[in-house]
Amino acid sequence: MNTHLHITAWALAIILLLVVIVLQKTGKAKGAKITHMILRLDYLLILYSGGSLLTNYLNGGGPMMTEAIIKSVAGLWVIVAMEMIAVRTGKRKATKGAWIQLIIALIITIALGFGRLEGGLLP
Ligand code: HEM
């Protein structure tokens, strides 16, 4: 249940971030602002679902615990990079560094999330 919430929440975040950027680039400042607020609410869903998945690992204390912690830190980094991109695009500042961070952080999170950690989609 939390896994599905988690995946839905971060997939939605990627979509919302793209919508925010398109709205900002096409000068629709108000729409961008509203969408950005929704994106920020969605961060809470990511944090809640990810935090609850992490709790399972912390309580279980199994061999994957360290990886789950690293995965979670990388997940936080994804959120930070997304927020940097959204804010900096709105201010017409350079976003290349933030995009590079987002891509690196996303690769780490998705590789550890889908590739290594077991608690996920499989029944
Ligand atoms: C936008 C950022 C994030 C992305 C893209 C992401 C991605 C993923 C993916 C792909 C999985 C695997 C799901 C599965 O196995 O079915 C996962 C699971 C997980 N995530 Fe995240 N995540 C993000 C944020 C977070 C945050 C902020 C935390 C911690 C506070 C977190 C903690 C976890 C934990 C503990 C798991 C469980 C791994 C498992 O049992 O498979 N994630 N995440």
**Residue 46 lies in domain:** 2-116
Domain count, the chain: 1
State the pLDDT at residue 117.
61
Judge whether 23 lies within some domain: yes
Residue 123 has a pLDDT of 42
Structural domain includes residue 122: no
Q: What is the pTM of this model?
A: 0.91
Question: Which tokens in the block code for residue 42?
Answer: 């969605």
Distance 67 CA to ligand 1 centre (A): 11
Neighbours of 21 (CB within 10 A): 17
Q: Give residue for tokens 């996303």.
A: 106
pLDDT of residue 118: 59
Compute the distance from residue 75 Cα to the ligand 1 centre, in Å: 7
Q: Which residue blocks in 26-93 are alpha helix, DSSP H?
A: 29-60, 65-90
Residue 123 lies in a domain: no
**CA distance linking residue 69 with residue 64, whole number of Å:** 9
Residue 114 has a pLDDT of 84
Whether 55 maps to a domain, the answer reads yes
Handedness of CA 48, 51, 57, 60 (dihedral sign): negative
Q: Determine, yes or no, domain membership for 56.
A: yes
- Establish if 88 belongs to a structural domain: yes
Closest atom of ligand 1 to CA, residue 13: 1
* pLDDT (0 to 100) of residue 81: 98
Q: What is the pLDDT of residue 52?
A: 93
Q: Which residue, by CA, sits nearest to atom 8 of ligand 1?
A: 113
Ligand 1 binding residues, C-beta < 6 A: 3, 6-7, 10, 13, 46-47, 50-51, 53-54, 57, 68, 71-72, 75-76, 78-79, 106, 109-110, 113-114, 117, 119-121
Averages of pLDDT over each 10 residues, the chain, 123 residues: 88 98 96 98 97 91 87 98 98 97 96 71 48
Nearest residue (CA) to ligand 1, atom 23? 75
Q: In this structure, are residues 111 and 70 in contact, taking their beta carbons and an 8 Å threshold?
A: no
In a domain, 80, yes or no: yes
Residue 82 lies in a domain: yes
